[in-house]
A = this chain, B = another copy of it.
């Protein structure tokens, strides 16, 4: 008999490493255990199961060739031993035994191992406020919970829902509840924006506005302080620091934390927040024990620091590395850049690398290069606007992150994926300027938006382009902050500029792009100008020109009014 390999946890990293190591070492006796009976499911698909896009939960547990991944499947097709409804209680590293119990009968057992893989995953954070344990308050922690939620919806028991947390899962759940089920849904996010630390404010505010346009109210900088129930113990109300919200369903989507207890109790090294510490071979501090997936700590390839990246895709990549190393194939998982994409109704938002906010916190001196252009040739009929914002370290030109917003489809994915590998390889702006993205009019522009974003970053870090931030511009417009004596210089077609000149006669000056060289002398003197167009490119050119004629107090509004009109600001015309 070959090696005895035991894998604890059968959702993503666990089955991946178990199946592959069995393929690589056919003589090994590989045992996969899980405390649940539903295993190997696509947890990321839960919102789409709840929404109805996926009709049956079995689809989330099926292969692409429509076999359900259950105990039978892993045993017959994959040659594993599978013990479901079996909870791992402790690991005896000296004797190399996992102590388990049968979840239903309580019966205890011992499973000996030569090598052990811990893939115990994560559990959702529960906000410890009064009422958090009321009926109707759910976390998205398992397929069972998802099935319960869908049953409530199908029975018409939910008319108002509150989602706590404006991260990816919270937003996906809000869409699921609203889109098919017509539930009146609100998101409460403790931070000043949705998707905090994943994208920066300009993108986040566009997402919030899109949610509102689709019927999901979003309250940021607002925390749930209490859940109130009816006399049957069912949730009825969410009380925040600012308001009371009716709700017969509450989804707590406030992040997850690693399930590292089993490892910690066995004396393995874990991080302060409980994630299992592994090396690049996915080995724990005990060389006979590997770990992978949501329960481990990894590295951030941009910051060079420890990071936590609970994602199904990362779990699968790590699981493969575990299997390789178990089978004697030296294989490494170096860390993550944090690639992210999600659908939000008709748009998508994505990022890779780090945001401006994170970059500043980590001691970089970042610039934010905003590119706005058609997602394919602007003359191609199906074109729509895309936003690509690069975060670049000013000192060395290193690209730290990319974030974007686009019409639904895979166009944004094409830029996020292109940037992900480059960022992991420590690429600089010039690598992105000449990055050879594929071009044909139905797909892209001769100057791809990602090349364009790099070109803007190049102009920014070399002080050829001087910008005001979108947030500052909004504040100046609102008169909220101290600001210089400023005036907008609107370069757009006179018909586009006209309503703005009428609405803001004191601070809006129109001078169309192709007349500036001939007519710049008509500009008012002693003003600070914010140069404005639809995307920012014309503004940049005019800023450079004005400098040559001695007009230096100018800022470009990056992304132009194409960004502003997606923010939902009160003074947006038409």
| B538 close to A65 (CB less than 8 A) | yes
Chain B contacts for A96, CB-based, 8 A: none
- Would B517 and A79 count as touching, CB distance under 8 A? yes
Instruction: Determine if A64 and B421 form an interchain contact, defined as CB atoms under 8 angstroms apart.
Output: no
The stretch from A52-60, A177-185, A249-257, A501-509 touching chain B is A52-60
Nearest B-chain residue to A535, judged by Cβ: B64
Closest CB in chain B relative to A453 CB, distance in Å:
14
Query: Does A568 interact with chain B (Cβ within 8 Å)?
Result: no
| List of B residues within 8 angstroms of A72 by Cβ | 514
Instruction: State which residues 413-444 of A face B: CB under 8 Å.
Output: 413-418, 420-422, 424-425, 427, 430-431, 433-444
- Give the one of A339, A440, A515 with max B CB within 10 A: A440
Which residues in B have their C-beta under 8 angstroms from that of A59?
379
Once A436-B313, A447-B316 are accepted as A-B contacts, the answer to whether A541 and B23 lie under 8 Å apart by CB is yes
B430 and A332: CB pair below 8 A?
A: yes
Q: Which B residues are CB-close (under 8 A) to A417?
A: 414-415, 417-418, 437-438, 450
Whether A427 contacts B421 by the Cβ 8 Å rule is yes
Chain A interface, number of residues (Cβ within 8 angstroms): 113
Q: In the bound complex, what is the Cα–Cα distance between A431 and B451 (angstroms)?
A: 23
A436's partner among B60, B352, B455, B515 (CB-CB below 8 A) is: B352
Contact A436 B410 (CB under 8 A): no
Q: In chain B, what residue has the closest Cβ to A61? A: B379
One of B377, B430, B440, B446 near A341 (C-beta < 8 A): B440
Known: A373-B64, A381-B53, A435-B421. A455 touches B320 (CB 8 A): yes
Of A124-132, A342-350, A359-367, which stretch is located at the interface? Answer: A342-350
Q: How far is A316 from B433 in the complex, measured between Cα atoms in Å?
A: 10
Q: Are B65 and A437 in contact (CB under 8 A)?
A: no
Q: Which residues of B contact A320 (CB under 8 A)?
A: 433, 455
Query: Which single residue of chain B is at the shortest CB-CB distance from A331?
Result: B430
CA distance A64 to B329 in the complex (A): 52
Q: Does A570 contact B (CB under 8 A)?
A: no
Q: Is A564 an interface residue (CB 8 A)?
A: no
Which of A40-48, A229-237, A238-246, A268-276 lies at the interface? A40-48
Q: In the complex, A350 Cα to B438 Cα: how many Å?
A: 8
Known contacts A65-B538, A379-B59, A446-B44, A317 near B433 by CB under 8 Å? yes
* List of B residues within 8 angstroms of A45 by Cβ: 377, 379-380, 441
Shortest Cβ gap from A38 to chain B (Å): 15
Distance in Å from the Cβ of A423 to the closest Cβ of chain B?
A: 9
Q: Which 9 A/B pairs are nearest by Cβ-Cβ distance? A: A313-B439, A417-B418, A410-B410, A341-B438, A414-B414, A77-B514, A26-B548, A339-B438, A59-B379
